[in-house]
Structure 1
Amino acid sequence: MNRILSALVAGLIFGLGIAISGMGNPAKVLNFFDPFGTWDPSLAFVMGGALITAAIGYRLLFGARSAPLLDTKFHLPTSKVIDMKLVGGSALFGVGWGISGFCPGGAIPALGFAPWPTALFLISMGAGILLARWLQALPRPKFA
């Protein structure tokens, strides 16, 4: 129960941050990607603030604890490989964000502002995830 409650609190804080910063508004996000038009640099400040907060939090947390409060160990990525899956996924994320103005995490709080466009984005994203998993499960051809 504590894990669910802590996840709920973390999600609410994240959603509140998205709402207060205006990043749930796709037009605001798209303006960041338009440096020669209606450029809005506020997304850079939101990202910078998040990076600074996360860097300090990680430094304090990993220096003080060997395991999280509600689990037996930290679950951190172990791979340091930059492969086509990583590069392709990153590119697809960036293109999707640039086209729609929605970041997957920021789209959920945006349901309160624009339910139909946001729901369409989330349904499309879910379909894309399912399609990617299905494609990954297909047998790979072997080349000699």
Structure 2
Amino acid sequence: MRAVWGFLSGLVFGLGLILSGMADPAKVQNFLDLAGAWDPSLAFVMGGATLTTFVGYRLVWRRAAPVLNPSFDLPTNRAIDRPLLTGAVLFGIGWGLGGFCPGPALTALPLLAPGTLVFVPAMILGLWIGPRLKPLPLLTPRTTP
């Protein structure tokens, strides 16, 4: 049953990305182009998502446990460290240059746009290579003796 609800949730998310235009990388790039053809519509999409998330969390946290799980699965690591910040910067740069992040890229894949056909395989390759890389000194937190 969890797989069915997961599929339906992903379907609603994907439809929302398509209807809002976020599956179009030009829309994202135009939002980031403050000096040119700036398009503020992404701000409205993000605002709507923030409001929906705020209300949703308020409703969910009133429950003792999620509907399809015996308990909430919350992260325990709350550290804001160098690897986290480096990853966030790399994600932001890639999002700005390519106009895609993983959700909209997978949603746009059936449109067979050339940018998507390059981005998605590169993303999958990066997801496969990333865990296999030896940690770089820049990304490794310093320890004091």
| TM-score normalized with structure 1 length | 0.89
Match of 1:118 among 105, 116, 130: 116
Matches within 5 A, 1:92-111: 92-111=90-109
Residue 51 of structure 2 is matched in structure 1 by 52
Query: Corresponding residue for 1:127?
Result: 125
Which residue among 55, 66, 69 is the counterpart of 2:67? 69
Q: What CA deviation, in whole Å up to 9, does each residue of 1:67-96 have, x standing for no partner?
A: 111111111222210011110110111011
Cα deviations across residues 29-72 of structure 1 (Å, max 9, x unaligned)?
10001000010011111011001101100111111x11111111
Q: What is the alpha-carbon distance in structure 2 between the residues aligned to residue 136 and residue 46 of structure 1?
A: 38
Partner residue, 1:34: 33
| Structure 1: gaps spanning 5 or more residues | none
For 2:113 and 2:78, how far apart are their aligned partners in 1? 38
Using the TM superposition, give the Cα deviation of residue 108 of structure 1 relative to its aligned residue in structure 2, in angstroms. 1.1
Aligned partner of residue 38 in structure 1, secondary structure:
coil
- In the alignment, the residues of structure 1 paired with residue 135 and residue 90 of structure 2 have an alpha-carbon distance, to the nearest angstrom, of 19
> What's the RMSD between the two structures over aligned residues?
2.1
Structure 1 position 117, deviation (Å): 2.4
The separation in 1 between residues aligned to 2:130 and 2:32, in whole angstroms, is 27
For residues 41 and 114 of structure 1, the distance between their equivalents in structure 2, rounded to whole angstroms, comes to 26
Unaligned 5+ runs, structure 2: none
Aligned match of 1:22: 21
Would you identify which runs of 4 or more consecutive aligned residues in structure 1 move more than 3 Å?
Answer: none
Quote the Cα distance in structure 1 between the aligned partners of 2:50 and 2:121. Answer: 29
Cα separation, 2, equivalents of 1:111 and 1:91: 25
SS in structure 2 at match of 1:47? helix
- Identity, % of aligned positions: 48
